[in-house]
């Protein structure tokens, strides 16, 4: 889990036709809680200062986004810039796995053969927002879908309680403040490349400590294979060049989070990867 005080918000880019400004503002209002919890930071081209290179500013923001929302209407599809430039670049990044694209069908239009049609669209079943009898219910449906994606990328957010009842939050590689955990005495002299964990204590705390020691001794390439096998969200995992003392706690914290695999599954993957020829 990530605390509201420590996390870096995910960058959200909204691609829309300026003729749909009113719909975009309604959506932003419904995303207000995500912004207040510091889960997302929304970029919009209205923030570009006069005189700035407009296209370049948009391209940079689009390339930096973690989540890209496509506000689909006939006006969006009719816009060469939205459909041919922003949407195509967004789909390229989605295909590369460097961003998540979420199409939001705002108004009735023919979109089913567009490149983004293969993705999971919002609202549910692609029913346009303007076709719902209650507009707030439509936007709630959209917001819940976006929140699910945010939680998968970041993990559920908890309110900051001053450190009384919550453990330190996992931080991304871009943040300062990493600290190595206290050293744990080795439970075995055997190299992890030759021997996996045969039996770990049943206590979660003891199991975490045992897995911490094991992971700390595992070579970088093997550790990367474990991270890849578990499909850990990139925002929660320091990069390969980061010290092992940062990457190991991050992996353990993710594994024990509500969206993580759990320590048992982590142990099983370690055993599989370490024993692989």
77 shares its domain with 199: no
CB 172 within 8 A of CB 8: yes
Is 149 within the bounds of a domain? yes
Do the bridges between strand 67-72 and strand 157-158 make them parallel or antiparallel, or are there none, so unpaired? Answer: unpaired
Cα gap 166→262, rounded to integer Å: 18
In contact, 218 and 248? CB cutoff 8 Å: no
Residue 163 domain-assigned?
no
Residue 251 within any structural domain of the chain = yes
**102, 133, 158: which is the final residue of a domain?**
158
Same domain (yes/no): 178, 133: no
User: How many domains does the chain divide into?
Assistant: 2
Domain that holds residue 34: 2-158
Q: In the prediction, which pLDDT does 54 show? A: 58
User: Average pLDDT of the chain?
Assistant: 79
Pair 9, 123 in one domain: yes
Angstrom distances, CA of residue 88 to CA of 9, 16, 94, 149? 25, 13, 10, 21
* 96 and 231 inside one domain: no
Domain shared by 135 and 178, yes or no: no
* pTM of model > 0.75: no
Q: Are residues 230 and 139 in the same domain?
A: no
164 assigned to some structural domain: no
In a domain, 167, yes or no: no
Q: What is the pLDDT of residues 177-234, one digit of tens each?
A: 333 344 444 444 444 444 444 444 456 777 888 888 888 888 888 888 898 888 888 7
Query: What would the pLDDT profile of 75-85 be if each residue is shown by its tens digit?
Result: 999 999 999 89
Cβ atoms of residues 70 and 76 within 8 Å: yes
């Amino acid at each position: 889990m990530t605390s509201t005080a420590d996390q870096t918000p995910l960058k959200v880019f909204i691609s829309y036709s300026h003729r749909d400004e009113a719909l975009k503002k309604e959506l932003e209002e419904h995303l207000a809680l995500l912004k207040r919890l510091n889960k997302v930071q929304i970029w919009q081209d209205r923030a570009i200062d006069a005189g700035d290179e407009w296209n370049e500013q948009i391209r940079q923001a689009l390339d930096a986004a973690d989540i890209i929302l496509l506000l689909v209407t006939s006006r969006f599809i009719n816009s060469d810039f939205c459909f041919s430039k922003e949407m195509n670049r967004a789909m390229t990044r989605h295909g590369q796995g460097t961003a998540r694209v979420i199409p939001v069908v705002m108004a009735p239009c023919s979109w089913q053969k567009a490149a983004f049609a293969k993705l999971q669209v919002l609202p549910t079943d692609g029913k346009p927002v303007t076709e719902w009898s209650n507009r707030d219910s439509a936007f709630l449906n959209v917001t819940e879908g976006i929140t699910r994606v945010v939680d998968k990328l970041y993990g559920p957010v908890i309110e900051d309680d001053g450190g009384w009842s919550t453990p330190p939050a996992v931080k991304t590689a871009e943040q300062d403040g990493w600290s190595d955990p206290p050293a744990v005495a080795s439970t075995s002299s055997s190299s992890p490349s030759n021997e996996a964990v045969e039996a770990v204590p049943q206590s979660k705390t003891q199991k975490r400590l045992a897995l911490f020691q094991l992971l700390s001794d595992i070579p970088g390439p093997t550790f990367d294979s474990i991270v890849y096998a578990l499909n850990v969200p990139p925002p929660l995992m320091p990069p390969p060049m980061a010290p092992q003392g940062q990457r190991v706690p991050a992996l353990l914290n993710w594994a024990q989070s509500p969206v993580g695999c759990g320590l048992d599954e982590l142990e099983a993957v370690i055993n599989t990867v370490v024993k692989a020829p």
